[in-house]
Structure 1
Amino acid sequence: MLKKINIKHCIVVLMASAFLAFGLYNVHSVSGVTEGGILGMSLLLQHWLDISPSISGFVMNSICYAMGWKILGKMFIFYSALSTIGFSVSYRIFEQFEPLWPNLYEYPLIASVLGALFVGIGAGVCVRIGGAPSGDDALSMSISHVTGLKIQWIYLISDLIVLVLSISYIPIQRIGFSLLTVIISGQIIGVINKTGTGSATRS
């Protein structure tokens, strides 16, 4: 497997993960506009069942990564692990500073579009290389690989399910802006990933 590792791909994945982390910290964490997928589901479980996202997120991500490994192979796991580490380290670094746009909560439309750009480009580049920054990316890649469906539509369906469930505790206005975010980010990921599931090959 080591012979198949592309150093250029590794650098790109780390940069894309940092870009994603930058957006989530400076946009989503202050704007009240959420994402779908595992992040949204973990917040939902925390609200209704008092289960910490550190537990629910770990379990759901592990299941999705296991599915991805079974379908997409060892290189998928390698690039996904690199992406996850890059994201975590970058987010931790960004946390040492104040958010750049603390007033974004007052401008949800701007926040939804800006957040979608960070998520779509950051996650999209990682997926294009063949790794998944989070479990829902892995799940979408796996379903797309098996069914042949375009990845942006799989993202949209899974995110819609989570957002509909989130109406139970998030104001409907914020859900609307969150829906705009997931639609735009999903389409961006789809465009970046248009040639398939990424450059990493199954092994």
Structure 2
Amino acid sequence: MFSLIKPKKCALALLGSAILAFGLYNVHALSGVTEGGVLGMTLFLHHWVGLSPAVTGLVMNAICYLMGWKLLGKEFIAYSIVAGGGFSLFYAIVEQFDPLWPQLADHPLLAAVLGALFVGCGVGLSVRAGGAPGGDDALAMSISKLTHWDIQWAYLISDLVVLALSATYIDLSRLGCSLLTVILSGQIIGLVQRVGRREDTPVKAGAAVEEQL
């Protein structure tokens, strides 16, 4: 499986993971603004059912990656291991330092926009390389493959479903900022994946695995 991957794409996936880890630690972890997807669903189930996010997160991420493997192939799993492992490594590094912008805790709107930039650019680079740093990304890539939607719309719909469920227990002002960040990050992911490609080339989740950089 790993004999199929290319160093250039691995480097791109790792760069995306580093940007994502930096943004999640320095922005999302401080501001209380969250993404939708698997994280939001684990919090929803914990609030209403009492299931531990450690268990539900593991199960849901495994299902998302299994779906991605079935639909997108072995290269997807290989690049996802690189992206996901890189994210864990880079997050472990950045959390050794004090957050750069602790004042963001008092500015959720700014945090929503800044966080979307880091998530959008970081995930977008990893997806462009052909891998998914998290279960949310594997799910969006699989939805895009199945429906032939551009990937930003796959992200948006899956996140909106989770945020709608989260409205049953999350403060509306915080939910509004979370909605803003998922809309922006999804669009940025699509833009990063699309930029530099020929206009006549379909931009779908599976295309990044098949194309040369």
TM-score by length of 1: 0.95
Give the secondary structure class of the aligned counterpart of 1:96: coil
CA–CA distance in structure 2, aligned partners of residues 89 and 59 of structure 1: 22
Which position in structure 1 is the counterpart of 2:106?
Answer: 106
Which position in structure 2 is the counterpart of 1:182?
Answer: 182
Which position in structure 2 is the counterpart of 1:200?
Answer: 209
Which position in structure 1 is the counterpart of 2:40?
Answer: 40
CA RMSD of aligned residues (A): 1.4
Deviations 1:103-151 (A, max 9, x none): 2121111100000000000001111111011112111111111211111
Which position in structure 2 is the counterpart of 1:144?
Answer: 144
Q: Aligned partner of 1:196: which letter?
A: K
The answer to whether the 8 A contact 1:116-1:181 is kept is: yes
The answer to whether the 8 A contact 1:128-1:196 is kept is: no
Deviation at 1:21, TM superposition (A): 0.7
* Structure 1 residues without counterparts, runs of 5 or longer: none
The answer to whether the 8 A contact 1:115-1:181 is kept is: yes
The answer to whether the 8 A contact 1:83-1:133 is kept is: yes
TM-score by length of 2: 0.90
Give the secondary structure class of the aligned counterpart of 1:50: coil
Percentage of identical aligned residues: 60
The answer to whether the 8 A contact 2:2-2:78 is kept is: no
Q: Aligned partner of 2:149: which letter?
A: L
Deviation at 1:3, TM superposition (A): 4.0
Deviation at 1:54, TM superposition (A): 1.6
Q: Aligned partner of 1:139: which letter?
A: L
CA–CA distance in structure 1, aligned partners of residues 77 and 27 of structure 2: 28
Give the stretch that moved more between structures: 142-151 or 117-126.
142-151
CA–CA distance in structure 2, aligned partners of residues 48 and 102 of structure 1: 31
Deviation at 1:165, TM superposition (A): 1.1
Q: Aligned partner of 1:199: which letter?
A: A
Deviations 1:155-174 (A, max 9, x none): 11111111111122211001
CA–CA distance in structure 2, aligned partners of residues 161 and 107 of structure 1: 25
Deviations 1:81-117 (A, max 9, x none): 1111111111111121221111212111110000000
Runs of 4+ in 1 over 4 A off after TM superposition: none
CA–CA distance in structure 1, aligned partners of residues 35 and 2 of structure 2: 34
Deviations 1:24-78 (A, max 9, x none): 0110010011111001111222222222222111100100100100110000000
Give the stretch that moved more between structures: 70-79 or 35-44.
35-44
* Structure 2 residues without counterparts, runs of 5 or longer: 195-202
